[in-house]
């Protein structure tokens, strides 16, 4: 009969065996609270399809174009890497408090800000339209903070970049097909991103209600590879531990001691159930036949109990997430381009000493009045609010893009006026400019004021609504009666 000391030693060894078995099973199957690092949610895999598809095509075209476009594409690639990492964390975590959410979004925010800052620093770039197309639409990555309709937000950002992608197509369609492919690839990226969000995050970013802490999971989640694609598939599970290893002595005794220990162990097992009183029990939550989640991998997605905050609420506490980047006011001539930027409530801005080959670019000015003296090639107002432009003459055109409540007055001659994605535009013509061509798209509240002989003006609204019918051979479009 075994002594008390021998029984104690046997119990200790059995506990070691149970502990090793426990770690082996749970290591292979995962646990109920922590997902294995290799398990990717279906939504993340769907995002990887975008990265491997149209986004990879965009990167390839950018490398061929080279220069500023290639460097800009590297920054966009980092933004998508950061978004992928965030989506993995969301698929494995409960919805965090807003302070933690801001921290988790910081990398994506910094990527967006870097992309926009690069564009601001390279306004003289010959590929400026390419840089602007990405900068205007890259805030689409901020969909993760939009609820309850993140899909339309991505569409809005895609439209914001369309003005510049159209310019790229116009400038390069007959010169280099790679630029055309570049535009199509980027537009497809945002189109697919919108479809992805509509399918997997219809009313806002979906967190895992049964997941762990988001901040902790963010530290555990491995970053993506340098190529930006999904990580390699997980390897096979570890092989079963040999029986000899389970009964190995912790002290490293020789084979003779192992055989003696096994003989004592099996002899003691015949003594009855008392010898197993000290063993650890396998509880119900450790049993795979009672917990299918141990075998099936990640828990299914459920909508968070608290809806994600609109983008404005997060942006307020995370300035990097804001689409606009605050800059000091600027007025200077760079090469052939006059740069008038970030002017607020300045009513006496005058540009003199102009030349016919120069371009005037007015960006994000508010409550200001700019007068351009002399004859220049063209004038562009981009993202301006409550801003007025008074000009003598232009060779080609005056353009309004993404503006609100703007006014224009021509004193000598303007051949073409372009209005795109602008709400509220008042155009004061003179007698020499009555033959002007006005092209408008996605704009509203546009009015043209034509001078009369007595010096007064007659106001004419530009139609905003049209009626299209099929006439048997094609489409016929007329101005709607209520336009």
pLDDT at residue 293 in the model:
54
Q: What is the mean pLDDT of residues 389-407?
A: 94
Predicted TM-score of the model (pTM): 0.48
Q: Quick: pLDDT tens for 197-238.
A: 999 999 999 999 888 898 888 887 655 433 344 444 444 444
pLDDT at residue 244 in the model:
41
Q: Quick: pLDDT tens for 110-126.
A: 999 999 999 989 989 99
Q: What is the mean pLDDT of residues 352-374?
A: 93
Euclidean distance between CA atoms 70 and 448, whole angstroms: 42
- Work out the percent of the chain whose per-residue pLDDT is above 90: 52
325 pLDDT above the threshold of 70: no
Is residue 384 in some structural domain? yes
Higher pLDDT, 242 or 15: 15
Domain count for the chain, please give it.
Answer: 2
Q: Residue 208's closest CA among 104, 85, 304, 291?
A: 304
* Strands 423-428 vs 444-451: parallel, antiparallel or unpaired: parallel
Provide the b/e sequence for 135-152 (b: ≥16 CB within 10 Å).
bbbbbbbbbbbbbebbbe
**Residue where one domain finishes, among candidates 202, 218, 234:** 218
152 pLDDT above the threshold of 60: yes
Token pair in block for residue 151? 């899909």
Euclidean distance between CA atoms 91 and 100, whole angstroms: 16
For residue 162, count other CB atoms closer than 10 A to its CB: 20
* Residue 415 lies in domain: 330-479
Is residue 300 in some structural domain? no
Provide the b/e sequence for 420-457 (b: ≥16 CB within 10 Å).
bbbebbbbbbeeebeebeeebeebeebebeeeeeeeee
Of 249-258, 269-278, 462-471, the poorest mean pLDDT is in: 249-258
pLDDT at residue 308 in the model:
42
Q: What DSSP string runs through 262-283?
A: HHHHHHHHTT-GGGGTTSPP--
Cis peptide bond N-terminal to 148, omega within 30: yes
Residues 345 and 201 grouped into a single domain: no
Is residue 371 in some structural domain? yes
CATH number, position 419: 2.160.20.70
Q: What is the mean pLDDT of residues 424-434?
A: 94
Higher pLDDT, 317 or 154: 154
* Strands 423-428 vs 388-401: parallel, antiparallel or unpaired: unpaired
Q: What is the mean pLDDT of residues 80-100?
A: 92
CATH number, position 69: 1.25.40.330
Q: What is the mean pLDDT of residues 132-143?
A: 93
Is residue 447 in some structural domain? yes
Token pair in block for residue 410? 């021509």
Is residue 32 in some structural domain? no
**Residue where one domain finishes, among candidates 156, 189, 218:** 218
pLDDT at residue 361 in the model:
95
Residues 342 and 214 grouped into a single domain: no
Residues 213 and 356 grouped into a single domain: no
Q: What DSSP string runs through 204-246?
A: SPPP-TT-B-HHHHHHHSPPPPTT-SPPPPP-PPPPPPPHHHH
For residue 83, count other CB atoms closer than 10 A to its CB: 22
pLDDT at residue 479 in the model:
87
Strand segments (E) across 275-401? 330-334, 337-341, 349-351, 359-363, 369-382, 388-401
Contact 220, 37 (CB under 8 A): yes
Which three-class secondary structure state does DSSP give residue 64? helix
pLDDT at residue 39 in the model:
76
Residues 335 and 201 grouped into a single domain: no
Euclidean distance between CA atoms 412 and 399, whole angstroms: 17
59 pLDDT above the threshold of 90: yes
Contact 345, 366 (CB under 8 A): yes
Token pair in block for residue 272? 């009855």
Residues 343 and 202 grouped into a single domain: no
For residue 47, count other CB atoms closer than 10 A to its CB: 24
Instruction: State phi, psi for 170 to the nearest 5 degrees.
Output: -65, -40
pLDDT at residue 483 in the model:
52
Sign of CA dihedral 444, 450, 456, 460: negative
Is residue 200 in some structural domain? yes
Is residue 181 in some structural domain? yes
Is residue 428 in some structural domain? yes
Sign of CA dihedral 273, 276, 282, 288: negative
Is residue 92 exposed (0-12), middle (13-18) or buried (19+ Cβ within 10 Å)?
buried
- Round the average pLDDT of the chain to a whole number and report it: 79
For residue 315, count other CB atoms closer than 10 A to its CB: 21
Q: What is the mean pLDDT of residues 68-78?
A: 95
pLDDT band at 455 (very low <50, low <70, confident <90, very high): confident
**Residue where one domain finishes, among candidates 170, 203, 218:** 218
Residues 214 and 338 grouped into a single domain: no
Cβ neighbours of residue 8 closer than 8 Å, sequence gap 6 or more: none
């Amino acid at each position: 009969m075994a002594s008390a000391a021998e029984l104690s030693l046997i119990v200790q060894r059995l506990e070691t065996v149970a502990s090793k078995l426990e770690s082996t099973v749970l290591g292979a199957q995962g646990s109920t609270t922590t997902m294995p690092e290799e398990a990717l949610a279906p939504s993340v895999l769907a995002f990887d399809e975008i990265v491997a598809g149209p986004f990879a095509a965009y990167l390839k075209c950018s490398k061929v174009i080279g220069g500023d476009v290639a460097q800009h594409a590297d920054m966009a690639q980092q933004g998508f890497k950061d978004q992928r990492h965030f989506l993995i964390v969301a698929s494995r975590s409960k919805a965090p408090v807003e302070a933690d959410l801001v921290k988790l979004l910081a990398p994506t925010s910094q990527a967006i800000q870097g992309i926009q800052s690069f564009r601001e620093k390279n306004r003289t770039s010959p590929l400026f339209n390419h840089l602007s197309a990405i900068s205007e639409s890259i805030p689409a990555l901020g969909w993760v903070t939009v609820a309850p309709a993140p899909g339309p937000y991505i569409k809005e950002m895609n439209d914001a970049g369309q003005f510049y992608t159209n310019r790229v197509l116009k400038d390069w369609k007959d010169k280099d097909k790679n630029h055309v492919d570049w535009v199509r690839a980027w537009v497809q990226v945002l189109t697919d991103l919108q479809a992805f969000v509509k399918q997997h995050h219809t009313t806002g970013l979906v967190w895992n209600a049964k997941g762990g802490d988001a901040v902790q999971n963010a530290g555990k989640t491995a970053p993506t590879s340098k190529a930006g694609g999904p990580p390699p598939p997980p390897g096979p599970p570890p092989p079963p531990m040999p029986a000899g290893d389970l009964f190995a002595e912790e002290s490293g005794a020789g084979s003779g001691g192992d055989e003696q220990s096994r003989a004592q162990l099996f002899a003691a097992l015949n003594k009855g159930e008392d010898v197993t009183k000290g063993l650890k029990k396998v509880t119900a939550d450790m049993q795979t036949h009672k917990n299918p989640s141990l075998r099936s991998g990640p828990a299914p997605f459920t909508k968070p109990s608290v809806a994600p905050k609109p983008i404005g609420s997060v942006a307020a506490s995370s300035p990097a997430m804001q689409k606009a980047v605050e800059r000091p006011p600027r007025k200077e001539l760079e090469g052939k381009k006059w740069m008038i930027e970030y002017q607020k409530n300045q009513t006496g801005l005058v540009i003199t000493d102009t030349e016919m080959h120069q371009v005037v670019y007015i960006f994000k000015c508010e409550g200001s009045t700019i007068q351009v003296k002399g004859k220049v090639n063209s004038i562009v107002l981009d993202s301006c609010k409550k801003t007025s432009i008074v000009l003598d003459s232009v060779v080609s055109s005056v353009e309004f893009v993404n503006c609100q409540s703007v006014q224009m007055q021509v004193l000598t001659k303007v051949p073409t006026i372009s209005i795109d994605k602008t709400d509220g535009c008042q155009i004061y013509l003179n007698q020499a400019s009555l033959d002007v061509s006005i092209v408008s798209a996605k704009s509203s509240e546009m009015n043209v004021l034509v001078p009369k002989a007595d010096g007064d003006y007659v106001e004419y609204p530009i139609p905003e609504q049209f009626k299209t019918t099929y006439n048997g051979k094609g489409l016929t479009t007329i101005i709607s009666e209520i336009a």
